[in-house]
Amino acid sequence: MENKMEWWKQTSIYQIYPWSFQDSNGDGIGDLPGILRRLDEIQALGVETIWFSPFYESPGEDFGYDISDYTSIDPRFGTMADCERLIKEIHKRKMRVVLDMVMNHTSDKHPWFLESKSSTTNPKRDFYIWKKGNKKAPNNWISMVGKSGWNYDSKTDEYYYSNFLSFQPDLNYRNPKVKKTMLGVLDFWLQKGVDGFRLDIFNSIYKDEQFRDNPFSFRFFPTPDNHDEAFFQKKQYNLNLPESFSFAKEVRKHISKYKHKPFLIGEVSGSDQVLKSFLGEKADGLNLVFQFELIHFQYKAKFFKDLLEKNETVFPNPYTPTYVLGNHDQRRYIDRLGGDVRKAKLLVCFQFMARGVPIVYYGEEIGRKEGRLSNFFGKDPIAKMNRFLPLFLSNLLGIYINRDNCRLPMLWDDSENAGFSNGKPWLPVGSFQTTDTVKVQKKDPNSLWSHYQTLFHLRNNLGVIRDGSLKTIETENVDVLCFERENGKQTLRVYLNFGETGVRLDVTKKGKVLYAFGGAEIGETILLPAHSGVIIDVTGKKSLKK
């Protein structure tokens, strides 16, 4: 990188869900040797950082987010030697590795919990949050999945707390031994060379020491970016505690001693103020947090303009916004666009050209669509909990119940099971066209894959996209979003037409077109057909009109 800005502020992240990426041994589940086989393709796409959803040993009740050994590899995915090879091969290709770290809770099959559960006097008892209940839950705390977070254990006549599902007991960070052990887990992986961690539900790490009841709220449904008020509760005492903000700084400090400058990206949710508290008032907390507003985008220029302006106001440099269109918990964005690739291209151009870190979920680059798997037969534990809720009703209510649907296998080619596996895939591949696969899209310069590749490469090659400031520019047309990126050496303008009709914009000097798509053309004017966009280098072209 030619500039001085920290590497993680400039990076791009690609999320791999190991279960669904590439199977190598025919058991129908993706694995590390499979991922190794695909590294060249990921590199060709232009990705810098790969984030892996968990592949540690786990009963797999929440598909790896229920860990039973933090320093081992689940045999479903391979061995520690495979993992070490993966890290090495990624680094060899000048890419980076981010591991998912579930610090908030373990599996209830973790030896620590089994010990903790065995008696009230066991030395591991205090590794978790236990409380007497007097025949009812110790307080009113609702977990993130909408039920009491307290789980009764008849053997010791106490309740343990879980802020997600009951088989995921929360660790007790008020116990210094827990902190020390979990920071030790980070060290284990950092010493293996990993470049950072995605911290799972980090907003839930601390719970109120006095176990006070949460106050009432009128809000029932949570959204991806706000769990703070949901299920008729303001989660004042079991989410986003000030101690969690301080712990963010502690973890940052802890990892800062590593020379290779690893970073943390937190899965947290709440108001901008809450996110900022996790990032630290001196930007000394989590390096980045996921910002999920883009997940429920409105396909309107104004929505994107407001988002950019909000981020520039609330998270100015040195803060680095992140732009997320989906992940393994959310409906895929291509389905929210009715499968319209023209619109997808606009969204992605926005995501990659904004100041911040774009985060791409595997399959987004080919417009991999959702499944239509019912809640009833879901493998996802959230679906199991809600199995009697029909899919159409959960869709109508706008709640995402069966996350299997966004976790379907990758579509590589038109061979058996789309090249994902020669065994029976753990989730169905579903129907697809050859044009939906990586193999075909890679050869088509107009495909979504090629669009992603162009944008990844533009980011990689042009410092201004990674380190430049951003300002929005008013345009003559409400459907057109325009913003400028500038770093003192170079100035770029991005024009995106979100409208249903073509637009002609008057400019006096053209600048150099770096990338145009959707039929955009530049002459004496800029012609932007519906759902098209253009990136122009306007360095030195001061007379370019609005």
CB-closest chain residue to ligand NOJ: 65
Contact flag: residue 225 with ligand NOJ (CB under 6 A): no
> Do strands 357-361 and 322-324 pair parallel, antiparallel, or not at all (unpaired)?
parallel
> Do strands 525-528 and 503-506 pair parallel, antiparallel, or not at all (unpaired)?
antiparallel
Residue in 192, 231, 204, 240 with CA at minimum distance from that of residue 104: 204
Strands (E), 396-457: none
Contact flag: residue 200 with ligand NOJ (CB under 6 A): yes
Rounded Cα distance, 51 and 106, in Å: 20
393-422: contacts with ligand NOJ (CB under 6 A): none
Least Å from the CB of residue 54 to ligand NOJ: 9
Q: What is the distance between the terminal CA atoms of the chain, rounded to a whole angstrom?
A: 32
Provide φ and ψ at 502, rounded to 5°.
Answer: -70, 155
Show the tokens assigned to 492.
């770029």
Contact flag: residue 290 with ligand NOJ (CB under 6 A): no
Whichever of 200 and 225 has its CB closer to ligand NOJ, that residue is 200
Rounded Cα distance, 316 and 313, in Å: 6
Task: Point out the catalytic residue in the list 267, 293, 365, 479.
Answer: 267
CA distances in angstroms from 510 to 47, 449, 473, 493, 495, listed in the order given:
31, 28, 16, 11, 13
Instruction: Label each residue of 188-208 as H, E or C.
Output: HHHHCCCCEEEECCHHHCCCC
Helix (H) or strand (E) holding 456: helix 448-461
Show the tokens assigned to 225.
């970016």
Provide φ and ψ at 217, rounded to 5°.
Answer: -140, 155
Contact flag: residue 427 with ligand NOJ (CB under 6 A): no
Whichever of 48 and 267 has its CB closer to ligand NOJ, that residue is 267
Contact flag: residue 328 with ligand NOJ (CB under 6 A): yes
Show the tokens assigned to 542.
């001061």
Whichever of 164 and 197 has its CB closer to ligand NOJ, that residue is 164
Rounded Cα distance, 485 and 237, in Å: 41
Least Å from the CB of residue 439 to ligand NOJ: 29
Provide φ and ψ at 522, rounded to 5°.
Answer: -120, 125
Contact flag: residue 170 with ligand NOJ (CB under 6 A): no
Least Å from the CB of residue 67 to ligand NOJ: 9
Whichever of 57 and 484 has its CB closer to ligand NOJ, that residue is 57
Least Å from the CB of residue 105 to ligand NOJ: 7
Least Å from the CB of residue 168 to ligand NOJ: 6
Contact flag: residue 61 with ligand NOJ (CB under 6 A): no
> Do strands 521-522 and 525-528 pair parallel, antiparallel, or not at all (unpaired)?
antiparallel
Show the tokens assigned to 299.
């396909």
Contact flag: residue 449 with ligand NOJ (CB under 6 A): no
String of contacts with ligand NOJ for each residue 236-275, x by CB under 6 A = -------------------------------x--------
Contact between 412 and 439 under an 8 Å Cβ cutoff? The reply is yes
Task: Point out the catalytic residue in the list 200, 293, 364, 404.
Answer: 200
Among 21, 113, 164, 495, contact with ligand NOJ (rule: CB under 6 A): 164
CA dihedral for 127, 65, 99, 72, sign (positive or negative):
positive
Contact flag: residue 329 with ligand NOJ (CB under 6 A): yes
Whichever of 84 and 329 has its CB closer to ligand NOJ, that residue is 329
Least Å from the CB of residue 137 to ligand NOJ: 20
String of contacts with ligand NOJ for each residue 63-82, x by CB under 6 A = --x-----------------
Query: 230-234 long-range CB contacts below 8 Å, 24 or more apart?
Result: 230/142, 230/144, 230/146, 231/142, 231/146, 232/142, 233/140, 233/141, 233/142
Whichever of 29 and 480 has its CB closer to ligand NOJ, that residue is 29
DSSP class of residue 461 equals H
Contact flag: residue 102 with ligand NOJ (CB under 6 A): yes
Is 200 catalytic? The answer is yes
Contact flag: residue 201 with ligand NOJ (CB under 6 A): yes
Least Å from the CB of residue 66 to ligand NOJ: 7
Whichever of 363 and 533 has its CB closer to ligand NOJ, that residue is 363
Whichever of 102 and 142 has its CB closer to ligand NOJ, that residue is 102
Show the tokens assigned to 22.
């590439």
Least Å from the CB of residue 99 to ligand NOJ: 14
Is 306 catalytic? The answer is no
Among 23, 48, 57, 62, contact with ligand NOJ (rule: CB under 6 A): 62
* Radius of gyration of the CA atoms of the chain, in A: 24
> Active-site residue numbers?
200, 267
Which stretches of the chain bind ligand NOJ, using CB under 6 A?
62, 65, 102, 164, 200-201, 267, 328-329
